[in-house]
Amino acid sequence: MERVAIEKKVLSENDRIAQQLRARFAERGTLVLNCISSPGSGKTSLLERTLEGFPPETRVAVVTGDIQTDNDARRLARFGFPVRQITTAGACHLDARMVEKSLDGWDLSELDLLLIENVGNLVCPTSYDLGEESKIVILSVTEGDDKPLKYPGAFAKSRLMVLNKIDLLPYVPFDMEAARRNARSINPEIEIIETSCTAGHGLDAWRQWIGARIHEAARKEEPG
């Protein structure tokens, strides 16, 4: 018997395309955020509230992924910014190639911000790098405060956790402190913002967070 070392990363083809995308985004100065959550945690709602607050001249676009339907793209297109839907026809995640294709015809140098809404799923999307600057995980209070421990990958790889639907806290047994503690036990650096997309809580903090990231990305782009 002979053992031969292979030492090959699975999904290396996805990673290769994602690295190309990352280089392209950096070169054009486009900040890309990849939003991940379970189905129904409020990804589209958060993006709706985000777009709604932007002045019309904001250079922002959205790519949204779903297994079926273009409902989310239609919801998001109402705000007048460019939106594209990716329907994965069964796949439980977006991959780098799908994102690359969806950008066809867009001039990235005209965009400061590209928001990606991943397929509703807290597991599979974490395996696929899309060339984003940061992943953002959205957890709503109806899902339970133990979710960071049960689905650690999404929390380990995200820079920010948005705790959404806090307007429902009076009605569901959700321990905010436990949720924060659990997320930080997986990822001590994770930033946390609490929001209610329906009542409008926390949206300023969220917009400021995005603003700071855009600023950061622009600074990196400057030579020297």
Partner 1 sequence: MHEMGIASEVIEAVRVEIARHPGARPSKVGLRVGEWAGVDVESLRFCLEVLVKDTDLDPLALDIEFRPQGSELDIAYLELEE
**43, 49, 93, 147: which one contacts partner 1 (CB under 8 A)?**
93
Q: Write down the least CB distance from residue 129 to partner 1, Å.
A: 10
For the segment 99-128, give every residue that binds ligand GTP (CB under 6 A): 120
Which of 51, 89, 48 lies closest to 68 in space, CA to CA?
89
* Residue 72 near ligand GTP by CB under 6 A: yes
Q: Write down the least CB distance from residue 6 to ligand GTP, Å.
A: 36
Residue given tokens 């950096």 in the structure block: 26
* Residue 45 near ligand GTP by CB under 6 A: yes
Q: Are 101 and 85 in contact (CB under 8 A)?
A: no
**26, 149, 156, 178: which one contacts partner 1 (CB under 8 A)?**
156
Q: Write down the least CB distance from residue 44 to Mg ion, Å.
A: 3
From CA 212, how far away is CA 174, in angstroms rounded? 30
* Residue 189 near partner 1 by CB under 8 A: no
Of the chain, the end-to-end C-alpha distance in Å amounts to 56
For the segment 110-149, give every residue that binds partner 1 (CB under 8 A): 123-128
Residue nearest to ligand GTP (CB): 120
List C-alpha distances in Å: 98 to 60, 62, 63, 75: 19, 14, 10, 21
In the complex with ligand GTP, which residue's Cβ is closer, 39 or 211? 39
Q: Are 136 and 36 in contact (CB under 8 A)?
A: yes
* Residue 185 near partner 1 by CB under 8 A: no
Which of 38, 65, 215, 51 lies closest to 138 in space, CA to CA?
38
* Residue 89 near partner 1 by CB under 8 A: no
From CA 38, how far away is CA 51, in angstroms rounded? 21
H or E stretch covering 31: strand 31-37
* Residue 10 near partner 1 by CB under 8 A: yes
From CA 124, how far away is CA 33, in angstroms rounded? 17
Q: Which residues bind partner 1 (CB under 8 A)?
A: 1-11, 13, 91-93, 123-128, 152-154, 156-157
Q: Which residues bind ligand GTP (CB under 6 A)?
A: 37, 39-45, 72, 120, 164-165, 167-168, 196-198
